[in-house]
Amino acid sequence: MATTQLKHDLRAVAAHFQIGGKFKGSAPHGSGHINDTYAVTFSQNGNPARYILQRINHSIFKNPPALMENIERVTAHVRRKLEARGADQINRRVLTLVPARDGRSWHADTDGNCWRCYLFVERAATYDRIETPAQACEGAKAFGLFQRQLADLPPPRLHETIPNFHHSRQRFNALRAAVGADPHNRAAAVKQEIEFCLRREPMVDVLLDLQARGLVPERVTHNDTKLNNVMLDDATGEGVCVIDLDTVMPGLALYDFGDMCRTGCSPTAEDERNLAKVEARMDIFEALVRGYLATAGEFLNTAEKDHLVFSARLITFEIGIRFLTDHLLGDRYFKIHRDGHNTDRARVQFKMVESFERHEAAMDRVVKEAGGWPSRP
């Protein structure tokens, strides 16, 4: 079960990276579901300096060196773009890898764990729950800019760190298989949720079909655009740095926009138990559309713009399917902190899907008014 964080000797791990000064301490950091993340503090000439140390979850990411190669290329490319336009505070605008003492971007410990180290992005924070339209707009702008910065990443194609990550048909079939196998006898208790998914099966093929017909292009995308994967500047609120780059790989721009809506439009945490509180916020949706189009509008094609509203429903549905599948399979993928945690998360997603369905006409209007729906006058 994915509940416990292993105890690691962070001082020993940090010693393998090119960090100067004296180790002062470490603490678990953030609320990600996948990696083990720690903030470590050093004293450098009497001043505190913080770093992020992360143990890459290698049961999920099967090839950490390939993943790190992607991150090296992506961060170097974005950095070059920032330098070219004379941006200030570049180390806060793109993740900065701190190399290991052997010059590689990662360190493998004797237990087979793979670690990496980043400069800590100071004076900025991530939010598990977006509160204001301004925060949503800034987050969406940052993710759109990230896609734009990577649009001309030179070949070769990035490694697929998790193959078919957003293949919604495969995610759906995996749920059906988990229901069939039901290894923990949990299916009966979530019968309603399973039926909810089965009724919506046709949704899962829509973007895959458009892609197969050549109507929506493969791009370099982030693929995990939860709004807590962008750091907002404490002083200005600007979406200053896109983080959590493990899944940056070939994908569809719409997957990124959809996940911003899933996490931004919900007024609650992803695992809220009081479902009465879960209802898509249209003010946030509008802010996401405007923010995203401000930076991505110029390169998105007509079919992509036409499916912005749909992508919100699809990705919310897909992540709900993944939570429900993980529950049925015994909580092996997402870190959980209580029994039934993944079902709680799935229920929130499904409530959001229903809410997006109800608000479809209003969402269409928002996109049209923002100039994002060229094929509908």
Q: What DSSP string runs through 190-226?
A: GHHHHHHHHHTGGGGGHHHHHHHTTSS--EEE-S---
Q: What Cα–Cα distance (Å) separates residue 208 from each residue in 292, 306, 320?
A: 22, 15, 18
CB 208 within 8 Å of CB 169 = yes
Quick check: 226 binds ligand GN1 (CB under 6 A)?
yes
The CA angle 156-159-161, to the nearest 5 degrees, is 165
| Residue 148's binding partner out of ligand ADP, ligand GN1, Mg ion, none, with CB under 5 to 8 Å set by partner kind | none
Quick check: 225 binds ligand ADP (CB under 6 A)?
no
Quick check: 77 binds ligand ADP (CB under 6 A)?
no
CB 353 within 8 Å of CB 313 = yes
Quick check: 32 binds ligand ADP (CB under 6 A)?
yes
Residue from 17, 61, 118, 317 that binds ligand ADP (CB under 6 A)?
A: 118
CB 26 within 8 Å of CB 40 = yes
Quick check: 34 binds ligand ADP (CB under 6 A)?
yes
CB 106 within 8 Å of CB 76 = no
Stretch of residues binding ligand GN1 (CB under 6 A), selected from 68-76, 114-122, 223-231, 275-283: 223-231
| Residue 52's binding partner out of ligand ADP, ligand GN1, Mg ion, none, with CB under 5 to 8 Å set by partner kind | ligand ADP
| Residue 270's binding partner out of ligand ADP, Mg ion, ligand GN1, none, with CB under 5 to 8 Å set by partner kind | ligand GN1
Question: Which x/- pattern, by CB under 6 A, does the window 171-190 give for ligand GN1?
Answer: --------------------
| Residue 247's binding partner out of ligand GN1, ligand ADP, Mg ion, none, with CB under 5 to 8 Å set by partner kind | ligand GN1
Residue from 138, 238, 256, 270 that binds ligand GN1 (CB under 6 A)?
A: 270
The interface with ligand GN1 within residues 235-264 (CB under 6 A) comprises 244, 246-247
Residue from 2, 74, 78, 121 that binds ligand ADP (CB under 6 A)?
A: 121
How many other CB atoms are there within 10 angstroms of residue 167's CB atom? Answer: 15
Rounded CA separation 155/70 (Å):
11
Question: Which x/- pattern, by CB under 6 A, does the window 114-153 give for ligand GN1?
Answer: ----------------------------------------
CB 158 within 8 Å of CB 73 = yes
The interface with Mg ion within residues 218-237 (CB under 5 A) comprises 229
Quick check: 210 binds ligand ADP (CB under 6 A)?
no
Torsion of CA 13, 19, 20, 23, to 10 degrees: -30
Q: What are phi and psi of 245, to 5 degrees?
A: -95, 10
